[in-house]
Amino acid sequence: MGKLGISIYPERSTFEQDKAYLDLAHQYGFKRVFTSLLEINGDKDEVLAGFKKPVDYANSLGMEVMVDINPALFEQLGVSYDDLSFFNDMGADGIRLDLGFTGAEEAKMTRNPYGIKVEINMSQGTNYVDNIMSYSPNPELLLGSHNFYPMRYSGLALDHFIYCTKKFNQYNLNTMAFVNSHDATFGPWPFSDGLVSLERHRDLDIATQVKHMKLLGGINDITIANAYASEAEIKAMSEAFFAAEPALKIVPSASITDNERIVLFESEHSYRGDRSEYILRSTMTRVWHKDKAFPAHDTRDIKRGDILIGNVAFGQYKGETQIALKDMPNQGQINVVGRISDDELFLLDYIQPWSGFTFEEVK
């Protein structure tokens, strides 16, 4: 199972606020903490003093702390890539290289005596990881994580995100990507209009971002990039991440019947394997509920994203649950009982035949 993470930025906050946030995240099963040294000013001792307290506290909760750095910072702090004792003294579990070296240095860093993990940037789309792998790194200590983007429209395109992720998956390296909290107010930089890896996630509900990441596959860990997410967001993210199956948000129709509610919300749903391009079929509901009444209502023409249940006129298909994948005419045997929430309609493209799902009611 992958891990959930939060981000803290000690130089832009207080220890008390960071401590409360770490406690909250820990309560909901979060195991990772991301922080950044890229914006710091000051000497080595000042840096250690400011960061050590929250890092130690995170460690005391059993959380793993990754620190964002780059080669210029090594110089600023007087640290060398072949001596990572500075980060060990800080209590960090690993370092994330925002910008890398040549490949040989990264490989050498993964063979450090402290067991410090080295996380490299996944978003470049170059042969950087192949180059590092050619220098025989310790793959247990080599991880990848995507960048995050505070500027609207600058986040990763989906096809590029998938392409970059596959490069890391082929070596079975641990991968991570960032999602955005709408209640958070800051990140590591002065300007932030949300903070995401994938641009299409910027305005989505945090649970929807997580569902999409899980359905895409290839990403092990997911971290909230900005601080501080609300408890409601942390809870929703945890539920979406640890759920065995995705819960699709649906808006039921005003005239939905009690029997139709039972079919939607109290039944297990599975995407039938012999798939159609028009409908996603969850067929077992017609077996489990064959003795229930499903009178005809709302038999209008069907739009993509509509939730459908076969009515009394549909013979052996009475009680079958379907999701419309395309617009189509309705011949009167199908009740339109709701529809997928607009913000999650795109998730239909990622649900695979034979997989399971549930429905979650939203207003």
Q: Tell me the mean pLDDT in the region 102-126.
A: 96
Q: Tell me the mean pLDDT in the region 10-14.
A: 91
Band (7; pLDDT cuts 50, 70, 90): very high
Fold agreement (4-243, 248-361):
no
Q: Tell me the mean pLDDT in the region 75-82.
A: 87
Q: Tell me the mean pLDDT in the region 262-278.
A: 97
Q: Report the phi/psi class of residue 70: left, alpha or beta, with left for phi > 0 and alpha for psi in -120 to 50.
A: beta
pLDDT at 225 over 90: yes
pLDDT at 99 over 90: no
pLDDT number for residue 41: 75
pLDDT per residue as tens digits for the range 13-51: 999 999 999 999 999 999 999 999 887 777 778 777 888
**Residue 353: which of 318, 329, 333, 323 has the closest Cα?**
323
Distance CA 89, CA 48 (A): 8
The residues near 28 (Cβ < 8 Å, ≥ 6 apart) are: 4, 234, 235, 237, 238
Q: Tell me the mean pLDDT in the region 121-135.
A: 97
Query: pTM for the complete prediction?
Result: 0.96
pLDDT per residue as tens digits for the range 305-343: 999 999 999 999 999 999 999 999 999 999 999 999 999
CA distances, 38 to each of 68, 74, 94, 226, 229 (Å): 7, 10, 15, 15, 22
Distance CA 80, CA 69 (A): 12
pLDDT number for residue 37: 87
pLDDT at 5 over 90: yes
Fold of 4-243: TIM Barrel (3.20.20)
pLDDT number for residue 40: 74
Residue 277 burial (C-beta neighbours within 10 Å; 0-12, 13-18, 19+): exposed
pLDDT number for residue 46: 79
pLDDT at 242 over 80: yes
Domain boundaries, the chain: 4-243, 248-361
Architecture of domain 248-361: Beta Barrel (2.40)
Helices (H), the chain: 15-27, 44-60, 71-77, 85-90, 104-109, 128-133, 158-169, 206-216, 231-242, 258-265, 285-288
pLDDT per residue as tens digits for the range 178-191: 999 999 999 999 99
**Residue 235: which of 246, 225, 243 has the closest Cα?**
243
Distance CA 158, CA 204 (A): 15
pLDDT number for residue 138: 98
Residue at token pair 């640290």: 79
Band (76; pLDDT cuts 50, 70, 90): confident
Q: Tell me the mean pLDDT in the region 44-72.
A: 91
Q: How does DSSP classify residue 111?
A: T
pLDDT number for residue 48: 78
Chain mean pLDDT for the chain: 96
Q: Tell me the mean pLDDT in the region 224-236.
A: 98
CA distances, 121 to each of 19, 168, 204, 354 (Å): 28, 10, 24, 34
pLDDT at 75 over 90: no
